[in-house]
Amino acid sequence: MYCSRFKLLMVNLIYIFGYIKNKKNYMREVVWSVNIMIAILIIGVAWVLYYIFTYDQKFTS
């Protein structure tokens, strides 16, 4: 049984695109969790920088 390379390529591409289409919702959840983690990181870094820059005003010796 012989299949042309083009036909095999098309079958594989259809399979891959179908798999990606089914996983879109999962990928969105992962992106949102990454966005939340990045937001927490930015807030933490901003708080640490604020603390460092205002340390001398709070604790003068």
What is the C-alpha end-to-end distance of the chain, expressed in Å?
88
Rounded Cα gap, residues 47 and 50, in angstroms? 5
Angle between helices 24-58 and 5-22 (to 10 degrees): 50
pLDDT of residue 48: 95
**Full DSSP string of 9-51:** HHHHHHHHHHHHHHTHHHHHHHHHHHHHHHHHHHHHHHHHHHH
Rounded Cα gap, residues 37 and 33, in angstroms? 6
pLDDT of residue 58: 81
pLDDT of residue 26: 61
The ranges assigned to domains in the chain are 5-56
Q: What are the 10-residue block averages of pLDDT along the chain, 61 residues in total?
A: 69 74 63 87 96 86 66
